[in-house]
Copies of this chain bind each other. A is one copy, B any other.
């Protein structure tokens, strides 16, 4: 059930996120921006429009492993991404999740919720796969970078 190389992933030696977070694109997502404590990426699967991921730069697994400035900085970055998504999409609410059951490297999911969404529906990234045309990813990345003031 849990990944076979869990201990290696926890230790960081076998952490796939450490290996591919800086790539322009990887099987899961596209690079958007680097913030002080994190890398921002756009998942290919846009089943929730605007879903964005904020990956802590160094390897760590739980919130209490971070030094106070790191913890503060990671959430400042995440808040900045949420504000950017709010500017772009004007959702009803934004959800924030740090799970890591499949990859324990600290990364936050920022998920806008719209009035057409069922507010009772749990977050399930495997619910469906919605892929965009390449030009749509490029547009969204440009809009995010502009809203994040990293142009």
| A interface residues with partner B (beta carbon < 8 Å) | 1-3, 6, 61-64, 66, 68, 71-72, 74-76, 78-80, 82-83, 86, 92-102, 104, 113, 115, 117-120, 122-126
If A1-B118, A96-B98, A102-B120 touch, whether A76 touches B71 (CB-CB below 8 Å) is: yes
Q: Across the interface, do B71 and A79 meet the contact criterion of CB distance under 8 Å?
A: yes
Q: Which of B75, B92, B117, B123 contacts A63 (CB 8 A)?
A: B75
Residues of chain B contacted by A92 (CB below 8 angstroms): 2, 6
Residues of chain B contacted by A118 (CB below 8 angstroms): 1
Residues of chain B contacted by A123 (CB below 8 angstroms): 97, 99, 122-123
Q: Across the interface, do B101 and A119 meet the contact criterion of CB distance under 8 Å?
A: yes
How close is A144's CB to chain B, nearest CB, in angstroms? Answer: 15
Q: In the complex, what residue of chain B is closest to A61 when comparing beta carbons?
A: B93
How close is A122's CB to chain B, nearest CB, in angstroms? Answer: 4
A-B contacts besides A72-B76, A96-B98, 18 pairs, CB < 8 Å:
A1-B115, A1-B117, A3-B119, A62-B83, A62-B93, A64-B79, A64-B86, A74-B75, A93-B99, A93-B104, A95-B100, A97-B97, A97-B98, A97-B123, A99-B123, A101-B113, A102-B120, A122-B124
